[in-house]
């Protein structure tokens, strides 16, 4: 069991990492809450529940589990409707202000459960037990929320968990595609913050995630969140590859490419853009592409993108204005910076990129 501490302005909390932590849940909770016994409410999804819910309950017997709410697996559950139903169930279970919500699942469960706990009686505690690789990113940093028909993650709150309990053995049941999705964010943390991590994961395989790799990847995110909890500055660096990723996800229809696959596509373009501004950056875009392809990523989404639709989608992103597009590039290895480009200039770079890499 390893612990990494996140220190935000209002709160410090541990990220506890290890194998078979669910079996040791009592000990883990003792670490978080001392001898205090808690009233717990578990939120999970229909894929994770049959795999791990009984195990969790079995190993937290000294606490009182007063309710469980199982959402349908998938992004569709980050909705008002599910929020409403889960909130009703929490009220019926009579959670009080000292109760704790447990998010057992991937980013969808974590975002919804976090938002529920941030608003139940103006905010109660929650603990994240991530079960996907991607959730090593989403469970750290305190961003919680749901989607609106007009856009993703538009409703939410900053609400830090009391702890993140990351049991790597829970990842073994993940389908390959979910590994690949989560690995995209590990690569991102390498590009923006840790060269050793980057070299290690570029020369590995997507399912070969060790505690040490995860700790390094989480540490990059934690450090940025500690510096800028409310996204007023450096937290934007975490959007490396994401301007393009969000547009590719939206244009191709959500679920067609996974988030991490879209992020890897986006990062390749951002690396190209980085080279236009900083030719001495010690990265060759073509080499990076080959490395990423070797890990199993496809760049078909970039190759087949409709540039005009991509630009239109980027302009609707809440981070961009009517005519300018923000993106994150690297001025040197692990030195990200934000640039703001006129949409026509951005479009020209997209055509140049397509021409140079895919003709
Ligand atoms: N809050 C943040 O800072 C932040 C950051 C990044 C992403 N996100 C959000 O995270 C969400 C994506 O997260 P995700 O990729 O984990 O998606 P997810 O929660 O939908 O999980 C992906 C799929 O894997 C299944 N699954 C989960 N754990 C499993 C396991 N151990 N074995 C087998 N199957 C399992 C799920 O049921 C689901 O079908 C998005 O909604 C995104 O907006 C939030
Ligand atoms: Zn992401």
Closest residue (by CA) to atom 30 of ligand 1? 174
Q: Is the CB of 106 under 6 A from ligand 1?
A: yes
Among residues 129, 153, 173, the one where a domain terminates is 173
Question: To which residue do tokens 């005519």 refer?
Answer: 323
Last residue of a domain, one of 133, 154, 173: 173
- The domain that holds 121 is classified in CATH as 3.40.50.1970
Residue whose CA lies nearest to ligand 1 atom number 14: 107
**Low-confidence residues in the chain, pLDDT < 50:** none
Q: Please tell me the predicted confidence (pLDDT) of residue 322.
A: 76
240 C-alpha to ligand 2 centroid (Å): 9
Ligand 1: centre distance to CA 135 (Å): 6
**Structure pTM?**
0.96
In ligand 1, the atom with minimum distance to the C-alpha of 260 is 15
| Atom of ligand 1 minimally distant from the CA of 74 | 20
The number of distinct structural domains making up the chain is 2
Closest protein CA for atom 42 of ligand 1: 107
Residues 46 and 192 in one domain: no
**pLDDT for position 256:** 87
Question: How far does residue 135's CA lie from ligand 2's centre (Å)?
Answer: 10
Question: Alpha carbon of 114 to those of 101, 111, 244: distances in Å?
Answer: 8, 5, 27
Supply the pLDDT for residue 169: 97
Mutate which of 154, 178, 245 for ligand 1? The one with the most ligand atoms within 8 Å of its CB, which is: 178
pLDDT tens, 254-276? 778 999 999 999 999 999 999 99
Is the domain of 199 the same as that of 231? yes
Q: Using the 3D structure, point to which of 122, 139, 173 is the last residue of a domain.
A: 173
| Residues of the domain holding 264 | 176-358
If asked whether residues 221 and 351 sit together in one domain, one would say yes
CA distances from 242 to 51, 163, 328 (A): 31, 27, 8
């Amino acid at each position: 069991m390893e612990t990494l501490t996140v220190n935000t302005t209002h709160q410090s909390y541990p990220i506890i990492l290890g194998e078979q932590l669910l079996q040791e849940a009592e000990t883990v909770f003792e670490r978080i809450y001392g001898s205090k016994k808690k009233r717990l409410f578990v939120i999970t999804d229909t894929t994770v529940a049959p795999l791990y819910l009984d195990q969790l309950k079995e190993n937290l017997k000294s606490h009182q589990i007063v309710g469980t709410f199982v959402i349908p697996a998938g992004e569709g559950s980050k909705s008002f409707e599910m929020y409403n139903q889960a909130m009703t169930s929490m009220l019926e279970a009579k959670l009080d202000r000292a109760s704790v919500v447990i998010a057992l699942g991937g980013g969808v469960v974590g975002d919804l459960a976090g938002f529920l706990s941030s608003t139940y009686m103006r905010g109660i505690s929650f603990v994240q037990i991530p079960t996907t690789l991607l959730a090593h990113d989403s469970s750290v940093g305190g961003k919680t929320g749901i989607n609106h028909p007009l856009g993703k993650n538009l409703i939410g709150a900053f609400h830090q968990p009391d702890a993140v309990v990351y049991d790597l053995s829970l990842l073994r049941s993940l389908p390959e595609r979910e590994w690949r999705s989560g690995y995209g964010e590990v690569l991102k943390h390498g590009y923006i913050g840790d060269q050793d991590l980057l070299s290690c994961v570029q020369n590995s395989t997507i399912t070969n995630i060790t505690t040490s790799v995860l700790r390094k990847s989480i540490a990059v995110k934690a450090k940025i969140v500690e510096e800028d909890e409310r996204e007023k500055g450096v937290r934007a660096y975490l959007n490396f590859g994401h301007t393009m990723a969000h547009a590719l996800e939206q244009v191709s229809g959500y679920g067609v490419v996974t988030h991490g696959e879209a992020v890897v596509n986006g990062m390749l373009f951002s690396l190209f853009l980085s080279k236009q501004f900083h030719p001495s950056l010690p990265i060759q875009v073509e080499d990076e592409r080959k490395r990423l392809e070797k890990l199993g990523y496809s760049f078909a989404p970039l190759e087949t993108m409709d540039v005009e639709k991509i630009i239109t989608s980027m302009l609707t992103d809440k981070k961009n204005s009517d005519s300018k597009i923000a993106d994150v590039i690297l001025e040197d290895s692990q030195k990200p910076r934000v640039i703001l480009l006129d949409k026509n200039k951005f479009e020209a770079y997209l055509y140049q990129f397509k021409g140079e890499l895919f003709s």
